Amino acid sequence: MAEKYESDPELEKKMKLEKTDEGKVIDIKGTSSGKKEEMEAKMKETKAKMAEKKEDMSSKIHEVKKGAEEKKEDVKSSLEDVKKEAEEQKEKLEKESEEEGLTPAEKILNDIVNRFKQGTGQINDAISDYTEDESKNLVEKPLVDVMETNDTVTIIADISGLKKDDIDLGISKNRVEIIAMFKDEPEDEEIKFTKKERSYGKTHRKIMLSSEIKVHEAKANYKNCTLTIVLPKTVEDITKVNID
């Protein structure tokens, strides 16, 4: 007859326990359940973060798409403005060409030639005070001599072919300016200069003085194509002091 053994609660409890390498006793079933809950919590947290990143990425993509649409509209508007301006310029050119009896191409070429002529005229005005002598050195016009004594400064300028009304003279304490208005050069397009030494248009000569002069006592005379300017010098007052 087999022997009956009564269940021992302590023995069953020991069977549920296991020793670690360090000798500590852990509850296998309790630990597994805890790890499962921890893993589920981490997975849930990871899913939440991924959802947030996905939403953030969608928001950024939406912003980029919106910015691209706005730029597209700006470019389209700019192109329309350029197209409109081009049409207006075309209509203006056609109208002006018809008024002048030219084709649009002839009108454009004519405008280019006129602008070139204007630019050449401006350059000539800028260098009207100068001309090249035979040694190719730049010489200011009108030509002047400046002579000085203890009391006066005398300037003699050669200005031919003008009346005194065509000459403007400006004097300050240390400078003299001579402006001469010559006749304009020939405008005939068939004329080409092979040598050009005479003055045309306005010439402006500035002469700096080494001494201060009495402006209100200055005198000028224009005779036989020669302008003579006499400038009295300013003399400093010297007070004599007695020595004790």
pLDDT tens digits for range 71-125: 888 888 888 888 888 888 888 878 887 777 778 787 788 778 777 766 665 666 5
Query: Do residues 191 and 210 lie in contact, with contact meaning Cβ atoms separated by under 8 Å?
Result: no
Q: What residue spans define the domains of the chain?
A: 28-126, 138-190+199-232
Query: Do residues 228 and 154 lie in contact, with contact meaning Cβ atoms separated by under 8 Å?
Result: yes
CATH 2.60.40.790 fits 138-190+199-232, yes or no: yes
With a cut of 50, list the residues of the chain below it in pLDDT: 1-2, 4-5, 18-26, 28-30, 129-138
Q: Per residue in 56-67, is it b (16+ CB within 10 Å) or e — as a string? A: eeeeeeeeeeee
| pTM for the predicted model, two decimal places | 0.40
